Amino acid sequence: MGSGFSDMIGIEAAGTELADALKVAEANATGELRNVMLTGINYVKSFTPNQFVLKKKMSNLPDNYQPPDPHSLPTGPLDTTTSSYGFSHTMIRIKDPHVSLDFYTRILGMTLVRVMSMPAGKFTNYFLCYPQSEVPDRDNHDQLMKWLWQQQGILELCHNWGTELPESDFQGYKSGNEPEHKGFGHICVFVDDLHKACGRFTTLGVRFKKRPEDGQMKHIAFILDPDGYWIEIIQNGSGDKETPKQ
C-alpha cells in the first residue's frame, strides 16, 4: 500500500470557494494531520479581506507525463530457479531497544526470537516476527537458526550502542518520509478489526500519522513507532475497501 494518500488531497476551487475550503481544512486539521495534508503541495497563500489564493504545484513533471503502463511491466519470475525464494526480513535502526522492543512486543504483539550482539561493531540486532510455527528452544542455536531463516516477514531492529544515552546527543534516525529524505516508506501490519485496533492504539498512547477516518483512504491507518517510522495498519482480508465500524 502506497503512503501517498497525502498527495491525493487537493483543492480545485478558486476565490470564495477556495477560501472556505482552506479555512475548513485548517480548522479541522492540527499537528501531524495538518502537516500530512500539506505534504507534497508547494503553495503560496496570499490573503485579501475576502479570499485566499492558493497556487498549487504538485511537481515539475511534464504536463503530458503518464506513469508506466502496468501491462508493460514485469509481473512475475521467469527463472524457475527462484521458486524457492522468499522474503526473509527487513532491518531498521532504532535509538533505544527498551522503548522499541516494548512497542513491537506489547503494542503490536510481535515475538522477539533472537538477539545477536556484535561487540566488535558495537551494535546489537533484535529479530522479531509473528511466528508461523512454534518457536524452537532458544538455547538450541542450530535448531533456532534453521527455523528463523524459514520464517517470512521478520523485522530486524539494529541498535548502535550508546544512541539511547542522553549524553550522546543523538538526534534520531530519518524515517524515509521527510520531504528532503524520501526513500524508505513503511512496514505494514494487518489486524482483525481496524477500528478496534486503532481504538486500542489510542488508549495505549500510540502516535498516529493517519487515522482511518482521515483523508480519502478509509481502509487504512498509519501509526508511528518510537523512532518515527511509519507503520501501515490494514484489516485482514479487507483489500482496499472501507472497513465500517462494528
What is the model's pLDDT at position 240? 73
pLDDT of residue 153: 96
**Is residue 50's pLDDT more than 50?**
no
Q: In whole angstroms, what separates CA 20 from the centre of its chain?
A: 32
* Domain limit, last residue, from 168, 191, 221: 168
Is residue 110 domain-resident? yes
C-alpha cell at 194: 481496524
Number of C-alpha atoms within 13 angstroms, CB side, residue 236? 6
In a domain, 164, yes or no: yes
Q: What span, in angstroms and rounded, lies between the C-alpha atoms of 231 and 103?
A: 12
The rounded distance, in Å, linking the Cα atoms of 90 and 100 is 15
pLDDT digits (tens, 9 = 90+) for 126-145: 999 999 999 999 999 999 99
Cα–Cα dist 219/243, whole Å: 5
91 and 52 within one domain: no
Contacts 24+ apart (CB under 8 A), 133-137: 135/111
d(CA 6, CA 84): 37
Question: Among 138, 168, 198, where does a domain finish?
Answer: 168
CB 227 within 8 A of CB 92: yes
pLDDT at residue 12, as a whole number: 32
Supply 155's cell numbers.
Answer: 523485522
- Tell me if 220 is assigned to some domain: no
Residues 34-45, mean pLDDT to the nearest whole number: 46
**How many other CB atoms are there within 10 angstroms of residue 151's CB atom?**
18
Task: Evaluate whether residue 130 is within a structural domain.
Answer: yes
User: Which of these three, 168, 188, 214, is where a domain ends?
Assistant: 168
Reading the block at residue 40, the C-alpha cell is 507534497
- Give 35's Cβ-side CA count (13 Å radius): 8
**Do 95 and 137 belong together in one domain?**
yes
Q: Please give the average per-residue pLDDT across 60-87, as a whole number.
A: 93
Q: In total, how many domains does the chain have?
A: 2
Q: Give the residue carrying C-alpha cell 532504532.
A: 94
Query: Is the pLDDT reported for residue 43 higher than 50?
Result: no
Q: Which residues contact 25 (CB under 8 A, 6 or more apart)?
A: 11, 37
13 and 51 part of one domain = yes
Tell me, yes or no, whether 92 and 150 share the same domain: yes
Query: Catalytic residue among 17, 164, 178, 232, which?
Result: 232
Task: Assess whether 34 and 93 both reside in one domain.
Answer: no
Residues 227, 99: contact at Cβ < 8 Å?
A: no
Please say if 180 is a catalytic residue.
no
In the DSSP assignment, the letter for residue 62 is -
CATH code: domain of residue 127: 3.10.180.10
The residue segments making up the domain with residue 26 are 4-57
Comparing 13-17, 96-100, 142-146, the range with the smallest average pLDDT is 13-17
Assess if residue 147 is contained within a domain: yes
Q: Is 232 annotated as a binding residue?
A: yes
